[in-house]
Chain A
Amino acid sequence: MSEQLETVRSQGNAAPARQGILDADVHPVPAGPDEVRAYMDMPWRERFAGEKRTFYLPVHGTGRKDAVPPAGGPPGSDPSFMRAQLLEEYGVAHAILICRTFCNIHPDADYAAAIASAHNRWLAERWLEQHNGDGAFKGSITVAQQDPQLAAAEIDRWAGHPHMVQVTMDSGARAPFGQRFYHPIYEACERHRLPLALHPGTEGMGINHQPSPGYPSHYIEWHTNMALSFQAHLTSLLCEGVFERFPGLRVVFVEGGIAWLAPLMWRLDSHWRSLRPEVPWVRRRPSEYLPEHVRLTTQPLERPERDEDLLALMEMMDAERLLMFSSDYPHWDFDSPRRAFPRLPPRLHEAIFSANARAFYDLPG
């Protein structure tokens, strides 16, 4: 363990509590594959080329064009510039950092685990230990789900880090997340009281299934359909009884929309009344598990023509308990904390922009 980390650890969370909003989905980006490779051992160091999703890309590029740091490099690659353009600009007290590693597209589980591991080391050193004296940056432990035992070991390795606040994995998958194959990951999350954040982006890529029937032709379709993947995973987690088996497990659905939640729960709750005998371990109405176990982040927020429609939907989905603001900085579909939302009632605003995430991640204001 580095000397720097020892210092961070001895300070613990002694840095004074930070006032402001919380942003639950922010992406730190390596300047290039070499930055990550530096944290890899052989044989992976020689092999890694920064592989990403190679199709389903927005016509205008993945990053915000005005987020290229002054000294160059991709958007999101300079911690100081991110602080200026996001944290200071919008009064963000804590940014929850999620690396986009694309590690779960690979058929080789060892290679995938090595990619996840190197990104965790890079994140810890470059973003959480340097440039973070005030503790504004909080990190996510990336795991590759191809081998859940390796993923659990990775969680064990990082869980004690004072600035790692959750585990994250991609929602692109070979099987829905309620299935037993994944249990070691949930066991490790529960053991360390760390939430698990699911993030889309590898649906239909590499070894992962596409959540729609076949491959849509265009990015606009694929991106809209991100909500399909989340619906399938949430239904699976609830029906397989994952929250009965792991009562301490909490899951965050990041960047897959919010408008689908209420109608999906109506449908599942209705079915449960008739079909419960098939899944007797589901002891409560499925939607009753949500407040204790599930959160959703807001970006990209659906905006119907009438603001009242969105406010009504938020009411139906229990947004005051379940929603956490996210911007997705520095990606092209960034949601501005000032402009992405209609005017919210003050209590709801406080819940979404601060209170919910502070309680969820235990970051008092």
Chain B
Amino acid sequence: MSVHVLGPAAELPPGSRRIVEVAGRSIGVFNAGGRYYALRNACPHQGAPLCLGRVGGTTAPGAPGEYRWERDGEILRCPWHGWEFELPTGRSVFDPDGTHVRCYPVTAEGGVLLLHL
């Protein structure tokens, strides 16, 4: 486990993101409504820069004809083929156990963001 200083937390306000290079890896760091998340910036499907995708919600699996919008602000959608991943877990929406992207803890300590690899 290694800890990397990302900089002042104030520079990553809610709704924003940053792509950082740490230990040879491209990683997306997100502030989603005050919670911090970090995911590997490579989609497991075809290697697209996943963390450039839109963050929003999704339609929950449900009965035919039913639309239920959920997890707003917690779903990252790949900029290429639209595969959806949960920011908090890196698990995909369509196959949570089989298809996922590596994620890392981010903490704010004394106003400074730390990435734990």
Binding site for B on A (CB under 8 A): 58-60, 64-66, 332-336, 338-340
Contacts and interface: CB of A to CB of B under 8 A. Distances in A.
Interface of B: 45-49, 52-54, 77, 79-82
A58 B52 contact: no
B76 to A, nearest CB: 11
Nearest to B79: A65
Nearest to B53: A65
A334 B46 CA distance: 9
A338 B82 contact: no
B47 A333 contact: no
Contacts of A332: 80-82
Nearest to A340: B46
A62 to B, nearest CB: 11
Given A66-B52, A332-B82, A334-B46, 6 more contacts: A65-B52, A66-B49, A333-B81, A334-B80, A335-B46, A336-B47
B82 A59 contact: yes
A60 B54 contact: yes
Contacts of B49: 66
Contact of A64 (B54, B77, B79): B79
Contact of B46 (A59, A60, A66, A339): A339
Contacts of A333: 80-81
Contact of A65 (B45, B46, B47, B54): B54
Contacts of A64: 48, 79-80
The 3 closest A-B pairs by CB, nearest first: A65-B79, A339-B46, A60-B82
A340 B47 CA distance: 10
Contacts of B52: 65-66
A65 B55 CA distance: 12
A58 B48 CA distance: 18
B52 to A, nearest CB: 5
Nearest to A333: B81
Nearest to B52: A66
Contacts of B54: 60, 65
A206 B81 CA distance: 27
Given A60-B54, A65-B52, A65-B53, A338 B80 contact: no
Nearest to A338: B47
Nearest to B45: A339
